Amino acid sequence: MDGYHIPSMIFQVFNFIILFTIIFFIIRYLLNSSKQRKEMNRRLQAIEEKLDDINHL
């Protein structure tokens, strides 16, 4: 009984660690992509403002 129970506990802990790591990486990836999206939006806005300035000349 105990010989079977201990490995399954280790397996559960391993599963939990793997799941936690995957979730952590997904959250980090989403945060990074949203930062990059903000940066891209800022650059696009700057380009649009330059184009507007050129059009007004």
Give mean pLDDT, residues 7-17: 89
**Higher-pLDDT residue of 4, 19:** 19
Sign (positive/negative) of CA torsion 28, 31, 34, 35?
A: negative
| Per-residue model confidence (pLDDT) at position 41 | 93
Residue 1 has pLDDT above 90, yes or no: no
> CA separation (Å) from 3 to 9, 15, 24, 37?
11, 19, 33, 52
Count of H helices and E strands in the chain?
A: 1, 0
Whether the full predicted model's pTM is greater than 0.75, yes or no, is no
| Per-residue model confidence (pLDDT) at position 4 | 66
In this predicted model, what pLDDT tens digit does every residue of 20-57 receive, in sequence order? 999 999 999 999 988 888 999 999 999 999 999 988 87
